[in-house]
Structure 1
């Protein structure tokens, strides 16, 4: 089970890096997008941390 958690975390990290690269040059302050982006980024960081912390309990 911990192997699956590792894969999910790796895939999540990869997707966030792709999103970051895709957003280069975008005007982030239009229509409140910056606030939504920051909120989503914090939520994904929290999810990643909690998944890694819970990994030993999932074995």
Structure 2
């Protein structure tokens, strides 16, 4: 089961890296057009919830 826990950790790390890259990329984009900011904010909130749920699942996977 430790291998599964490691995989969860890797997914969380890769998701975090992708979201940081998106945040850095967003700085150079005029994002106020056509409601893009609202869509981005909803996606970021959903990704945060996913990250928390994956982190919580780690303890179940390790059992």
CA RMSD of aligned residues (A): 0.8
**TM-score normalised per structure 1:** 0.93
Aligned length: 59
Q: TM-score, normalised by structure 2?
A: 0.87
Structure 2: tracts of 5 or more residues without a match = none
Larger radius of gyration: 2
Q: 5+ unaligned residues in a row in structure 1: which ranges?
A: none
Match of 1:54 in 2: 57
Moved >2 Å (runs of 4+): none
